[in-house]
Amino acid sequence: MVRGKFITFEGIDGAGKTTHLNWFRERLEARIAASGRSVVVTREPGGTALGETLRGILLNQPMDLETEALLMFAARREHLAQVIEPALARGDWVLSDRFSDATFAYQGGGRGLPRDKLEALERWVQGGFQPDLTVLFDVPIATASERRGAARSPDKFESESEAFFARTRNEYLRRAEESPERFVIVDATRSIADIQDVLEDVISTV
């Protein structure tokens, strides 16, 4: 069985990545339908029963920064073991709303946890495992802030300052610069139709 592929969507809150995820799934399913494979859609934190419980805690409860990072990686280990790794072994494709880049961006860039601690956790939990492709939806901080303001009641991350999101965005961009072969950066200020044109090109190359 040929291994499946793992694709992640990333971006700061308000970048609009979730808006495009279902459309991307439908287009990807159409592309691989003849192969008999499936597309598994999941998210982080979450993706498993334990992960969803941890998600509720992480998004809403105050806690020490290191506790927050440890819980993110604990949820990720369960996610890998129960969902991602089995799906890829079956030959299915996995599409995830966030993965470890988000932890480096939010807990590292945004909150300031030293990168070496996150890298140690990443090696422990993931080994050398990384997505085959990461689509990063990039948007100016002010635009993202306006979009968040028009959305539902914010969780503790969505309630953070513009300075926090500037640091988070910068870390995302640093990660993308560090691994250009893995990242595709999408200008999320463009129209939905224009973004879907870009994503269509992405699908044709994976």
**Residue 69 labelled as part of a binding site:** no
Asked if residue 46 belongs to a known ligand binding site, the reply is no
Residue 120: the pLDDT is 98
Task: Look at residue 186 in the predicted model and tell me its pLDDT.
Answer: 96
Establish whether 14 is an annotated binding residue: yes
What pLDDT shows up at residue 158? 80
pLDDT for res 90: 94
Residues 123-132 have pLDDT tens digits of 999 999 999 9
Q: Where are the domains of the chain?
A: 6-205
Backbone angles phi, psi at 154, to 5 degrees: -75, 150
| Tokens (6 digits) for 175 | 């990660």
Three-state DSSP class for 133? strand
CB 10 within 8 A of CB 102: yes
Tell whether residue 18 is among the known ligand binding residues.
Answer: yes
For residues 72 and 129, give the distance between their C-alpha atoms in angstroms, rounded to a whole number.
16
Per-position b or e across 45-60, b if 16+ CB within 10 A of its CB: bbbbeebeebbeebee
Q: Does domain 6-205 have CATH number 3.40.50.300?
A: yes
17-32 and 192-205 are packed helices; what angle lies between their axes, rounded to 10 degrees?
40
Beta strands in 36-119 (DSSP E): 39-43, 93-97
Name the stretches of the chain with pLDDT < 50.
none
201 is in an annotated binding site: no
CA 115 and chain centroid, separation: 18
